[in-house]
Amino acid sequence: MTKDLPYAGRRPEDLAPDELAELLQFHDAAYFEDGRPVISDAQYDALVALLRARAPDHPQLQRVGAAPAVAHAGDKVVHERPMLSLDKCNEFSGFWSWLRGICADVLGRPNNPKSLPDEEVRSWAASAPEARLVATPKIDGLACSLRYGADGRLLLAATRGDGRIGEDVTANGRRVQGVPSVLRGHSGAEVEVRGEVYLSLSAFAAVADSYANPRNLAAGTLKAKDNPAIPPEQLAFYCYDLIGVPAGSEVEKLGQARLLGFEPVPFVELTADQAQKVFAEQDAGKQQWDFEADGLVLRLNELGLVQRLGATAHHPRGAIAWKFAVDAGTTTLVEVEWSVARTGIITPVAIVAPVLLSGATVTRATLHNVSTLRRHGLRKGDQVELVRRGGVIPHVERVLLPSDQPQELPPSACPSCGSATALAERLDDKTGESVAVLYCTKPDQCTAAKSRQLLHFCQTLELEGFGDKVLELLTERGLVSDAADLFTLQAGDLQTLPRFGETMVANLLAQVQKARRVPLAGFLTALGIPSLGKQTAQLLAGRGDLAAIRAMTVQEIAKFHSLGDKTAETIATGLVERKEFIDRLLAHLAITAEERHSQDGPLAGQVVLFTGALVVMKRSDAQKWVVAHGGLTGDTVTAETTLLVVGGDELEAAVPSSKLKKALKLRDQGRPIEILSEAEFFARYGAT
């Protein structure tokens, strides 16, 4: 900036309109051209207000208020109409007092809404045409304004910023799903479209270990100058407002948005007296939503009334956001506990000071793996935010206030057996992403790993009654050290245990009796060998008998159904390490003949997985169909999967499902996975 501040020594109140205009021009240049404003937004607004009071028709005001369709310089964009916020409430009472205010206005008693009896408001809410509302989820993303020119082309995408001035994000914005580059069948007028850019929870799931929450990732991605963290195509846009398109009601407006090529934010129409019921229903059903939402936005449907009610400097009067009770809480990290799984993998768990989360006291939260621990850089005494997102297990969302303690690190010795630990990179089953995991290097000598193994054995063979607590007790008393010991349990041993009544003992022994005959695939799975899950066990069982499987070399296993060297090595090692255990088990149980599935159908040798919505038949029938035609199937994409069948239009979708993502990744790694659409699959293998 070369120019000096004009009229530096004088008070704005003393300036003539033209002098004020010159001052405003100076500040515009400082803001837009130099990116170095010298006054605050509030001071700027005060200058504009002063000029408006002095000379309402001054051309400078035209320049500010009705700036050209796209007023922006550098990264900054002026919103022709400010992007306001929403009035908020947390309870029904807040919603009711908002509604009472509207009712009083409509009934011509705006000055004393409190004098309106509840009954009068209620009957108005149930029947007045003005009391019709539209409810939409309050999406937890970032507000975005899209401007389209008279030719229907996208000119600009901008963030909300401070409501008056946002940031130009056109380059990434035009790549967001649901942002058309050209409007469909529009009338030739300039149009501004407002809505929320968000990252769906399903897309977020794939990267959840590396980012705090979908909103921050969406914001970072949209605003990124280069190398966005994820492709902007994974973001999506829900439209909630149109400016420049005539409409009489909110519902009509959302319909117009659809016609122009936008996805309107999901909405429900209601009368105001139904709001409480609708709120409760939406709150209860929100787990099904594939986006984060922190409440409902309730807007008056009639736009004439909305217009008449106007806005405060902060929010329009015709709408209110009613927030859901949060599933989040703030607490203190007491310590990080390391929990040993049956495979020897050691998972960090956050032990926190008790905190109430959705009505339950929580003292533990999952940290998933070492990558998550590192990302948060946790320290004892940290103030942390716990969130229960979509599921039942709370997790640490973020550190609010770090303590000055040293950072928690993965232990070098197993907390259960003291053996050395080691770190490994592993593909996360759910997300297909690579994460760092800690494991005990001697799981076969580790008490914790062994007791979890025992639980796995009982769960796989469906031994009812042998849960966590019972097994813990049996282990503690030295009655059982591994699954083979279950078969030597006597009624006398069990009856001495606290609360083990006669019936319970009889039931437990009957369950053990049941496990004396097991199918080969179940037996193999129950061994708890890493990489030998249900699907692989099914495959190997097709090989014949246990002796034959135990005799297989690593190379033979690797070649079998292209299991691959790494899996084969783990399985072979697992079988050898458990030699004595297997022999002891075989002394107590018999392996029954495998239910052989047809091995000569068109799908013989194939392991087929399904993802997405199927049209030809429902998924469970499709899985039965695969087995009936000689193939194998399952629910998780693994290295053994040979074919992924993708239903719906997922193949074209910008956001692949986690199954598709994992299959693509495995294929990139050289696995022979074929990916077919449902139509291609059934056409090739001949279902009718």
Question: Where along the sequence are the contacts to ligand IVH (CB under 6 A)?
Answer: 84-86, 136-139, 143, 160, 196, 240-241, 265, 297, 316, 319, 321
Cβ-based nearer residue to ligand IVH, 166 or 634: 166
213-217 long-range Cβ contacts below 8 angstroms, 24+ apart:
213/292, 213/387, 213/397, 213/398, 214/140, 214/141, 214/291, 214/292, 215/140, 215/141, 215/142, 215/292
636-637-642-647 Cα dihedral, nearest 10 degrees: 80
**Inter-residue contact 170 to 226 (CB < 8 Å):** no
Cβ-based nearer residue to ligand IVH, 86 or 627: 86
- The residue length of the chain stands at 688
Helix (H) or strand (E) holding 400: strand 395-401
**Inter-residue contact 595 to 589 (CB < 8 Å):** no
Cβ-based nearer residue to ligand IVH, 142 or 666: 142
Q: Which residues contact 245 (CB under 8 A, 6 or more apart)?
A: 187, 189, 191, 253, 256, 260
| Nearest approach, Cβ of residue 141 and ligand IVH (Å) | 7
- Of the candidates 215, 223, 241, which has an alpha carbon nearest to the alpha carbon of residue 84? 241
Cβ-based nearer residue to ligand IVH, 139 or 463: 139
| Nearest approach, Cβ of residue 77 and ligand IVH (Å) | 15
Cβ-based nearer residue to ligand IVH, 319 or 518: 319
| Residue at shortest CB range from ligand IVH | 143
| Nearest approach, Cβ of residue 265 and ligand IVH (Å) | 4
Cβ-based nearer residue to ligand IVH, 138 or 376: 138
| Nearest approach, Cβ of residue 121 and ligand IVH (Å) | 23
| Nearest approach, Cβ of residue 290 and ligand IVH (Å) | 15
* CA angle at 86 for the pair 81 and 90, rounded to the nearest 5°: 180
Q: What is the DSSP string of 560-607?
A: GGG--HHHHHHHHHHHHHTHHHHHHHHTT-EEEPP-PPPSSSTTTT-E
The residues that bridge with 645 in the sheet, in sequence order, are 610, 676
The residues that bridge with 366 in the sheet, in sequence order, are 349, 395
Q: Which of 3, 76, 138, 450 is catalytic?
A: 138
| Nearest approach, Cβ of residue 218 and ligand IVH (Å) | 12
Q: Is 76 a catalytic residue?
A: no
- What number of other Cβ atoms are within 10 A of residue 516's Cβ? 10
- Of the candidates 340, 581, 577, which has an alpha carbon nearest to the alpha carbon of residue 451? 340
Active site residues: 138
